[in-house]
Amino acid sequence: MENVETGEQSGIFMNIILQLNKEVIMMAGKCPSGTSPYIIKQGDTFFKLAQQYNTSVGKILESNPGVDSNNLQIGQTICLPMKNDPPANENAAANTGVIARIKGGPLRPQINGTVQFQNLQSGTWVCVEVNGLPPYQPANGGQSPVGPHGFHIHEFGNCEVGDPQNPFQAAGEHWNPTNQTHGNHAGDFPVLFSNNGYSKMCFYTNAFKPDQIVEKSVIIHENPDDYRTQPAGNSGKRLACGVIEKA
Ligand SMILES: [Cu+2]
């Protein structure tokens, strides 16, 4: 009886610690939407950053409650208001926003984030933001490096884990509607590189429109994409998956 109680209590304790850890991890990489993390360098002031990033001191202050602008530390992370604008010659088309909510599988459960697909006149503006990527590891003893991470649209909107050693096989192969070689699949994306686990990237593609990829999936792989090995660029295991849905 006593043991059961002790076990329960330490279980609750563990949960609190895990929860705290999770919050610390999220805070480390997370900035409010419309802003991006920025690491303070020597000589930075909010005034200088406002000029450099085409924003105002007021907006920077608003995005960083509790940060003392007169006492910035080198290496400190703040959130800078940044626009993730699509290319200037591309207009947003009718609003058919599409999103994939990315969750890590058994090989990297910490991964958490979104990929947003904005409909443009002639293509799609893709913005990814994820936390919890694994630390970079250089290639070693014939093993591929861990990161930057292969990143693709896969053919099925199914993120069932399946085999925990080789997860997310239910997502199928790369989405390749026009039967191209790998490196030129419609679903081939630039690799994702990690900044202490955090990654943010936007890019333009005219290989598809958002409504064509609904009910497919986005996969983040363990290893870099070499853009030449067929059919999947030797990107290794599947760390995270998200089904693409209407926003
Ligand atoms: Cu892939």
What global pTM score does this model have?
A: 0.73
Separation of CA 227 and ligand 1 centre (Å)? 11
Q: Which of 157-161, 169-173, 233-237 comes out lowest in average pLDDT?
A: 233-237
Separation of CA 5 and ligand 1 centre (Å)? 46
Q: Which among 181, 190, 184 is positioned nearest to 230, based on CA atoms?
A: 181
Looking at 3.30.565.10, 2.60.40.200, 3.90.1150.10, 3.40.630.40, the CATH number of the domain 98-246 comes to 2.60.40.200
Class of domain 28-83: alpha beta
Whether 198 shows a pLDDT value over 60: the answer reads yes
Whether 29 shows a pLDDT value over 60: the answer reads no
Average pLDDT over residues 153-161: 97
Separation of CA 237 and ligand 1 centre (Å)? 9
Separation of CA 77 and ligand 1 centre (Å)? 31
Separation of CA 243 and ligand 1 centre (Å)? 13
Separation of CA 187 and ligand 1 centre (Å)? 8
Separation of CA 221 and ligand 1 centre (Å)? 6
Residues of the chain with CATH 3.10.350.10: 28-83
Separation of CA 24 and ligand 1 centre (Å)? 30
* 2 vs 160 pLDDT, higher one: 160
Whether the Cβ atoms of residue 50 and residue 58 lie closer than 8 Å to each other: no
Separation of CA 219 and ligand 1 centre (Å)? 5
CA distances 216 to 154, 207, 212, 237, Å, are 6, 15, 9, 18
Separation of CA 160 and ligand 1 centre (Å)? 15
pLDDT at site 73: 93
Separation of CA 111 and ligand 1 centre (Å)? 16
Separation of CA 36 and ligand 1 centre (Å)? 26
Whether 165 shows a pLDDT value over 90: the answer reads yes
CA separation for the pair 158, 225 (Å, rounded): 22
CA distances 67 to 6, 64, 73, 129, Å, are 41, 6, 10, 23
Separation of CA 244 and ligand 1 centre (Å)? 14
What letters, b where the CB count within 10 A reaches 16 and e where it falls short, cover 65-101? eebeeeebeeeebbbbbbeeebeeebeeeeeeebbbe
Q: Which among 230, 125, 238, 247 is positioned nearest to 185, based on CA atoms?
A: 230
Separation of CA 27 and ligand 1 centre (Å)? 28
Helix (H) or strand (E) segment spanning residue 130? strand 124-131
* 87 vs 71 pLDDT, higher one: 71
Separation of CA 172 and ligand 1 centre (Å)? 9
Whether the Cβ atoms of residue 139 and residue 148 lie closer than 8 Å to each other: no
Separation of CA 94 and ligand 1 centre (Å)? 29
Residues of the chain with CATH 2.60.40.200: 98-246
CA distances 173 to 7, 127, 177, 188, 237, Å, are 44, 22, 11, 11, 12
Q: Is residue 95 very low, low, confident or very high in pLDDT (cuts 50, 70, 90)?
A: low
